[in-house]
Amino acid sequence: MAIIRGRQMGLDMPTLAKQFKTSKSVIWATLKTPNRSKATGRPSTTSPGVDRIIVRMRKKNPRQTSTDINSELKDQYGVQISFFTFLRKFQLTWLTGIQRHCQKTSAPRWTLQKAPSEQANDSGEEPFSSTDVGKGSSALGWNKVLWTDESKYLMIGTEEITHVRRPVDKRYDPKYQVPTVKHGCGNVMVWGCFHANGVGPLIRITGITSRYMYKDILKKEMLPYERS
């Protein structure tokens, strides 16, 4: 401003007030006002070009995670930014994380509430760290472990709550929706196991898994594989 330049030239405050036809208090307040023309804070870690690349990648694949985008940016452009920087970039472009519509609920992103387990269920459990395998992390110790799992797979869709980043007015866009059918197409329940030496048998389970059925699977499938 002209007042600041006049002060830098050596003019006193009464002279400046007379020259600009104002009071000395206005001159004093003008000289004490900080210069806000320069940007404050740390400069942005990304350029406008990189911001456009991030938004374009997100719009191209709404289900791509921030970790995958960060890895792709690092490999192709040599740019690596934090998770919170991604959130700020998406919020500025209205690409906030919105929960995908599922069949049972369309509630916002809330944490899952689970009732505390009963003390009777936990009293007989032995901590994994106190077992022979848990005491050491050597390969020889883990080679003694036989892993088993029972999983259900839907023919179409998923029961899990997944998220997609979309513009606020694109809720009914097929690109951001989950394919589903009215009455479902059923599911397949399977049991399997694996060991350090290879994969064990894969058994299809029909009906509801009871404790007798599970014991029968362990007896007829798991034990022979373990002994082989």
pTM of the model as a whole: 0.38
Q: What is the pLDDT of residue 184?
A: 64
Cβ neighbours of residue 218 under 8 Å, at least 6 residues apart?
A: 148
pLDDT tens across 186-221, in order? Answer: 788 999 999 888 888 999 988 888 888 888 998 988
Coil vs helix vs strand at 205 = strand
Same domain (yes/no): 14, 91 = no
Q: Is the pLDDT of residue 174 over 50?
A: yes
**φ, ψ for residue 75, nearest 5 deg:** -75, -40
Same domain (yes/no): 22, 63 = no
Same domain (yes/no): 220, 185 = yes
Name the pLDDT band for 130 (thresholds 50, 70, 90).
Answer: low
Same domain (yes/no): 85, 8 = no
Same domain (yes/no): 154, 187 = yes
Q: DSSP string of 135-201?
A: H---HHHHTT--EEEEEEEESSS-SS--EEE--TT-TT-GGGS----SS---EEEEEEEEETTEEEE
Domain that holds residue 210: 137-169+181-227
pLDDT tens across 81-125, in order? Answer: 887 887 777 766 655 554 444 333 333 343 334 455 555 555 555
Q: What is the pLDDT of residue 111?
A: 37
